[in-house]
Amino acid sequence: MNKVDTSDTEILSRIMSGEKELYRIIMDRYASLVFHVVRRYETDQNLMTERAHEIFLKAYERLDSFRGRSAFSSWLYRLAHNHCLDEIRREKHRNTFFSELPDDHATGMKDGNPGPDAEMETESEADEQTARLWKAMARIDDNHAVPLLMKYRDGMSYEEISEDLNVPVGALKVRVHRARKELKTTLEQM
């Protein structure tokens, strides 16, 4: 089997038909994409490798949910991003350090700085805007949303995105432009 010329769809179909060893091709093909996503959330090399393995395992377990409506790379990117966000949420729940501080811990903090309430108002407004933005992003087609996220959230160049998604640069520019228009329209309607 020629790994380079074989499409993702054909490889995935064969994996689903029992040729499980072909998943190595998918892992080799998309390792840089997955590591790029993981690097946005994790700095420790060992944890980055662990997260990437978890993502590929999760993708393998959920291959039957890939419907082919978007490119496999877009589906995998979204899965990797969501997995990393889930891990961050889990980690926040595991960290109980602040909830274990004694009540009198903050007594020496009255030095004229704005209190936590002032910061909380700003943070809650930012959280609301972020939630609104993600809600709008969820309404945009993956073929447009994923390149937009890679360009503006991840700071990737069109050439890097093209390499990771196997889509020509010109097509990516069109997709990003359409995603921005869709996002603007969706946010105005909300």
pLDDT tens readout for residues 166-187:
889 999 999 999 999 998 898 8
Architecture of domain 1-96: Orthogonal Bundle (1.10)
Nearest of 178, 182, 160, 180 to residue 169 by alpha carbon? 160
CATH class of 121-190: mainly alpha
CATH 1.10.1740.10 domain extents, the chain? 1-96
CATH 1.10.10.10 domain extents, the chain? 121-190
In whole angstroms, how large is the CA radius of gyration of the chain? 21
Lowest mean pLDDT among 20-29, 30-39, 43-52, 119-128: 119-128
